[in-house]
Amino acid sequence: MDEPTRDHGGNLDAARRRWGGKRHDWVDLSTGINPQPYPLDEMTPDMWTALPDTAAEHGLLEAARAFWGVPKGLDIMAAPGASALIANLPGLMPAGRVAIPGPTYNEHAAAFRAHGWEVSNKTEACQARVIVHPNNPDGALFTGGNLDGLDLLVIDESFADIDANLTMRALAHRPGVIILKSFGKFWGLAGIRLGFAIARPDTIAKLRDRIGPWAVSGPALEIGRRALLDHGWAQRTRARLHADAARLDDMVTATGVAKLVGGTPLFRLYKTSNATAAQESLGEHHVWTRAFPYSDTWLRLGLPGPAKAWVQVETALKDLP
C-alpha cells in the first residue's frame, strides 16, 4: 500500500498565512473536536507543582473504568494523548504485516512503518490489524468480519463516545486486543493531551513500560476525572451534537453543490465537484475546513460552536462554487 500524505486538520496557521486575519476571526472546522468543551473549574496549585501521584491516577482510571464499562479482568491505562499510544503500539511485538484498510486516520500506518512493519490495505495473511470505529474521515462503523488469527488488534474508538453503544469492548478480553479512547474529541479538550488504552493486564503492562512514569500531567488527571464522572454532561452533549450535525447538514446541502456522504456527530463528510475550490472559497470567508490528498471531492467539516460562528459559516456557504 502506498503511504498516504501524512496530513492533519487543525493547521489554521497555514490558512491565516494565505487569507490573513487573527485567530479569533476564523471558524476552524478542520478538526473533529467538540467546539463546546467540558467546562473547566479552578485547579489547586499542587496540580501544577507536584509530580502526579498514584492516588490521582487511580481516581482518573476508576472514573474511566466506570464511564466505559470496562469489564473485570481487563486493565486500563492513561497516556498523554491517544497519539502517544498509537506511536508505541507497534513495538509490542516483532514487526510483521499489518492490515489497515483505508482511507483512515494516517498516524496508524505511519507508526507501524516506523517500527518496521509492512502495511497493507488487505486483511489476508496479516499478524496485526487496525480498525478505526467510527472511521475517520467517513464515519463508517465496523460491522463484522474475521478477526481470528491476529496477534495484535488495535481498535481506535477516538470518536465512539458520541454514542455509548458504539464500543467494541466485548472483544477486549482476547489476547492482543487493544481499545483506544481519546479524551480530546468528545470532551473538546484536545490541548490537555489525554488518551486511554483498554486491554488485558499483560498487554497493558507492556504498554505502560513503553510510555514510562508520570506520563499524564496532574491537571489532566483531575480534569479527566471530573469529566468522566459527569455522566449527565455526556448525555446532554450527545443530544446537542446530533442536533448540531443535522443543522450543519441542512445548511450545507441547501447550497445544492455538496452532498452528505458520511461522518459522525463530531464531523461531517461532504462530496463536492471540487474539494480544493470549496475549501478555498470557504477560506476566503475565514472558515477553515479539511480536504484530503487522496480525494478531489471530499470535504470534511467539524461543527461550529458559538452562534456567531454558525452565522459566519452560513454566509460563507452561500459562495460555494
Residue ranges of the chain assigned to CATH 3.40.640.10: 46-229
With CA atoms as reference, report the closest residue to 116 among 138, 95, 145.
95
Rounded CA-CA distance 295/4 in Å is 11
Chain Cα centroid distance, residue 119 = 21
All CATH 3.90.1150.10 domain ranges in the chain, comma separated: 12-37+232-317
In three-state secondary structure terms, 15 is: helix
Fold entry, domain 46-229: Aspartate Aminotransferase; domain 2 (3.40.640)
For the domain bounded by 12-37+232-317, which CATH number is listed?
A: 3.90.1150.10
Cell numbers describing residue 248? 450543519
Burial of 112 (0-12, 13-18, 19+ CB in 10 A): buried
Q: pTM to 2 decimals?
A: 0.94
**Would you call 24 helix, strand, or coil by DSSP?**
helix
Per-residue pLDDT of the chain (321 residues; tens, 9 = 90+): 444 456 777 789 999 999 999 999 999 999 999 999 999 988 889 889 988 989 999 999 999 999 999 999 999 999 999 999 999 999 999 999 999 999 999 999 999 999 999 999 999 999 999 999 999 999 999 998 889 999 999 999 999 999 999 999 999 999 999 999 999 999 999 999 999 999 999 999 999 999 999 999 999 999 999 999 999 999 999 999 999 999 999 999 999 999 999 999 999 999 999 999 999 999 999 999 999 999 999 999 999 999 999 999 999 999 999
| Cβ-Cβ contacts under 8 Å for 219 (sequence gap 6 or more) | 43, 47, 48, 192
Neighbour count for residue 208 (Cβ, 10 Å): 18
Q: How far is CA 46 from the centre of its chain?
A: 30
